[in-house]
């Protein structure tokens, strides 16, 4: 099924042609949108600007999203999943954005994930919002905020190590919190008639202070994941602050009702890991996060050079796509996390994308993180694709 760029006839915030990403893509009747903030072109200064506090910014972002959805023949009532990327600086004002979302969606209940990021690419931006939509919205929604799409993808809300009383569990213990989040995700999926065996991706967000013990999450994952013979794709990002004090990990999980098939270009390193380069499920290819790693030697490549790292990263993504019988033109989404030390040269990554990817450019989001699990890495990319 062909991917098509969504091109609104009227989009007053900025000229969207010429970038290495699309405002959004349609795949059949569904739409995947890039992350959108309140950025807009200021004709007086000739620059992109962000105006207002959290409430104003959330309203502007959702107005953009509404215009893009309308161009795809959809409305807010068709949204199945919302991802709100909220900056550390804006986190204390996040309830304002939640109020805007409630005002817009009312009784409609898509799955909501909240990613805390160090900063967005526009320094004044507090929030950037991504959505997935399909005619009629979620096919099913549980009372716990789990939403299922018409094509069998199942989105969970962000899973936090917080119990039913609202208290943080296993304070100071990353491994205990990680295991709790996996068990909580399993309970949520069982409420939808599935289990963690159906997970296609598990993306986790931890803090720099826990980097040295992160490897010990391997056991919790091995005990709980891969029961159907296929480990999910995975990615790990470090943020200096998470959703509330005491929280050391936040987990975003996507699952599928379709049978899972592992995709590996032949990299033996994954033989002992609790995640897989890619997972086929129905018409989708869900992938792990990728950075500039030599798959044979385990060496981090091109330290200090974010553009060279992007070359290696997108080449690895291309190899997974090829192993699944797809190509760069089948990428539907890329989420790029860049470290502060890579920001100065980050614009150069767009040229790498233009050389290695294809039109219609994938829906994309970019944000700053506090760091990555390997300190040499400056960039990690979470991709997803449709299968030809």
Half-sphere exposure of 30 (CA within 13 A, CB side): 23
pLDDT of residue 141: 82
pLDDT of residue 140: 80
364: tokens are 């994309």
Contact 58, 97 (CB under 8 A): yes
* Other C-beta atoms lying within 10 Å of the C-beta of residue 244: 13
User: Is beta strand 79-87 parallel, antiparallel or unpaired with respect to 127-133?
Assistant: antiparallel
pLDDT of residue 116: 98
Backbone angles phi, psi at 350, to 5 degrees: -60, -35
Give the distance, in angstroms, between the CA of residue 126 and the centroid of all CA atoms in the same chain: 17
CA–CA gap between residue 15 and residue 339 (Å, rounded)? 27
pLDDT of residue 333: 98
136: tokens are 């009629």
pLDDT of residue 1: 62
C-alpha torsion angle, residues 362, 13, 346, 384 (rounded to 10): -20
CA–CA gap between residue 195 and residue 225 (Å, rounded)? 9
Per-residue pLDDT of the chain (388 residues; tens, 9 = 90+): 689 999 999 999 999 998 999 999 999 999 999 999 999 999 999 999 999 999 999 999 999 999 999 999 999 999 999 999 999 999 999 999 999 999 999 999 999 999 999 999 999 999 999 999 999 999 888 889 999 999 999 999 999 999 999 999 999 999 999 999 999 999 999 999 999 999 999 999 999 999 999 999 999 999 999 999 999 999 999 999 999 999 999 999 999 999 999 999 999 999 999 999 999 999 999 999 999 999 999 999 999 999 999 999 999 999 999 999 999 999 999 999 999 999 999 999 999 999 999 999 999 999 999 999 999 999 999 999 999 9
Q: What are the DSSP calls for 175-226, one per residue? A: HHHHHHHHHHHHHHHHHTT--GGGEEEEEEEE-GGGGGGGGGHHHHHHHHS-
Contact 126, 89 (CB under 8 A): yes
**Closest-CA residue to 295 (of 270, 318, 320, 278):** 270
* Other C-beta atoms lying within 10 Å of the C-beta of residue 10: 7
Angle at 332 between CA 355 and CA 224, to 5 degrees: 115
CA–CA gap between residue 221 and residue 373 (Å, rounded)? 17
Rg (CA), the chain: 19
**Closest-CA residue to 76 (of 151, 132, 26, 11):** 132
Tokens 């023949």 belong to which residue? 73
**Closest-CA residue to 379 (of 257, 165, 258, 235):** 235
User: Is beta strand 40-42 parallel, antiparallel or unpaired with respect to 140-141?
Assistant: unpaired
């Amino acid at each position: 099924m062909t991917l098509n760029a969504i091109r609104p006839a009227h989009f007053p915030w900025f000229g969207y042609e010429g970038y290495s990403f699309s405002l959004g893509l349609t795949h059949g009747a569904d739409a995947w949108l890039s992350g959108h903030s309140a950025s807009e072109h200021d004709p007086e200064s000739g620059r992109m600007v962000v105006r207002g506090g959290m409430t104003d910014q959330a309203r502007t972002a959702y107005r953009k999203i509404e215009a893009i959805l309308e161009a795809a023949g959809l409305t807010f009532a068709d949204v199945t999943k919302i991802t709100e990327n909220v900056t550390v600086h804006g986190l204390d004002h996040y309830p304002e954005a939640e109020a805007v979302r409630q005002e817009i969606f009312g009784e409609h209940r898509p799955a909501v994930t909240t990613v805390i990021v160090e900063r967005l690419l526009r320094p004044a931006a507090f929030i950037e919002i991504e959505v997935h939509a399909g005619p009629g919205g979620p096919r099913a929604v549980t009372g716990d905020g789990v939403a299922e799409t018409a094509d069998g993808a199942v989105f969970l809300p962000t899973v936090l190590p917080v119990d039913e009383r609202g208290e943080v569990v296993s304070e100071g213990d990353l491994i205990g919190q990680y295991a709790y989040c996996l068990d909580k995700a399993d309970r949520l999926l069982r409420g939808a008639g599935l289990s963690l065996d159906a997970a296609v991706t598990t993306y986790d967000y931890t803090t720099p202070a826990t980097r040295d013990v992160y490897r010990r999450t391997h056991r919790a994952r091995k005990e709980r994941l891969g029961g159907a013979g296929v480990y999910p794709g995975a990615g790990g990002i470090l943020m200096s602050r998470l959703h509330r004090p005491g929280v050391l990990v936040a987990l975003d999980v996507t699952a599928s009702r379709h049978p899972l098939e592992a995709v590996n270009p032949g990299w033996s390193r994954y033989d002992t890991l609790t995640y897989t380069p890619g997972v086929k499920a129905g018409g989708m290819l869900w992938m792990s996060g990728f950075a500039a790693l030599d798959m044979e030697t385990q060496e981090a490549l091109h330290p200090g050079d974010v553009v060279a790292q992007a070359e290696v990263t997108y080449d690895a993504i291309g190899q997974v796509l090829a192993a699944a019988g797809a190509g760069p033109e089948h990428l539907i989404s890329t989420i790029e996390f860049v470290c502060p030390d890579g920001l100065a040269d980050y614009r150069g990554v767009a040229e790498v994308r233009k050389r290695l990817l294809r039109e219609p450019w994938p829906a994309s989001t970019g944000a700053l993180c506090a760091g990555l699990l390997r300190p040499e890495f400056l960039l990690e990319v979470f991709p997803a694709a449709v299968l030809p």
